[in-house]
Amino acid sequence: MAQGAVEYAKELSNGKGIPIVLHLDHGDTFELCKNCIDCGFSSVMIDGSHHSYEENVALTRKVVEYAHQFDVTVEGELGVLAGVEDDVKAEQHTYTQPEEVQDFVAKTGVDSLAISIGTSHGAYKFKPGQNPKIRLDILQEIEKRIPGFPIVLHGSSSVPQDIVKIINQHGGKLKDAIGIGEDQLREAARSAVCKINIDSDGRLAMTAAIRKVFAEKPEEFDPRKYLGPARDALKELYKHKNINVLGSAGHAYDK
């Protein structure tokens, strides 16, 4: 599967004139990371955050030692995010402890670090009535200890309420789906945060577009007629994120 992903990514990036990375998200074993590196991925994440601190350090170090021989960069994780992503599930946040980051980065040699400051995987990040804020104070503490070191945020969808509304108006049942405000992400993006993972918003945008076609044209059965609009909606969404939230537009460069 990893090999297929590499071929597909190469094909897609061919002749586009922009640098493209192929990154493994939430690799949970050394073997999986090694397999992806051997197949040609440009970066991998080793998520050892569910292990003890010492085991996380040892596992991450092992992946870094292997990856760096091939010029592949490695993202590690400290602290546990709440939420569900594929088969990664945690009930509660364990915030990253700023006291640990310096030691972790030094001992493992990672190139970037995913931290837990209140973002979470999925579309239900906060309960109704809860203060939907991430802990930018912890981010600042971490930055003070490892100035300029690339920080990563996972689970950073904003769950746009206009999109949720379209889904629910067309037969969907997403109750109390709440995300991270785009203003908070903009603030994080201005700091040492260099990558912000946004997935649920893309899922929501595609679902809304497909549900709309199904509700408005129940006679439609050509996948091109509903997957096309879904793809357009996805493109629009990420264009908006890139330009207005992440401030990444126009920043692509080849090394």
Binding site for Zn ion (CB under 5 A): 154
Helix residue ranges, H only, 14-52: 30-39
Nearer to Zn ion among residue 86 and residue 216 (C-beta): 86
Whole-angstrom distance, CA of residue 150 vs CA of residue 162 = 32
Nearest residue (CB) to Zn ion, 122 versus 211: 122
Given 25, 28, 111, 199, the catalytic residue: 25
Report which residue's Cβ sits closest to Zn ion: 154
Q: How far apart are CA 228 and CA 223, in angstroms?
A: 8
Instruction: Tell me how far the alpha carbon of residue 189 is from its chain's centroid.
Output: 13
Strands 151-153 and 83-85, sheet pairing: unpaired
Specify the residue, 197 or 210, whose C-beta has the smaller distance to Zn ion.
197
Could you tell me the smallest distance in angstroms from the CB atom of residue 76 to Zn ion?
Answer: 13
From the number of C-beta atoms within 10 Å of its C-beta (0-12, 13-18, 19+), residue 158 rates as: buried
Tokens of 251: 């920043």
The residue among 154 and 212 lying less far from Zn ion, judged by its C-beta, is 154
Q: Which two tokens stand for residue 47?
A: 């998520």
Report the DSSP pairing between strands 83-85 and 88-90: antiparallel
Which amino acid, one-letter code, is at 137?
D
Gap between the Cα atoms of 37 and 43, Å rounded: 8
Q: How far is the CB of 232 from Zn ion (least distance, A)?
A: 26
Q: What is the DSSP letter of 75?
A: E
Q: Shortest distance, CB of residue 56 to Zn ion, whole angstroms?
A: 16
Beta carbon nearer to Zn ion, 83 or 160: 83
Give the C-alpha separation, 63 to 46, whole Å: 7
Minimum gap (Å) between residue 47 Cβ and Zn ion: 8
Helix (H, G, I), strand (E, B) or coil at 56: helix
Give me the least distance between CB of 26 and Zn ion, in Å please: 6
Asked about 201 being catalytic, the answer comes back as: no
Pull the structure tokens for residue 237.
């969404």
Annotated catalytic sites, by residue? Answer: 25
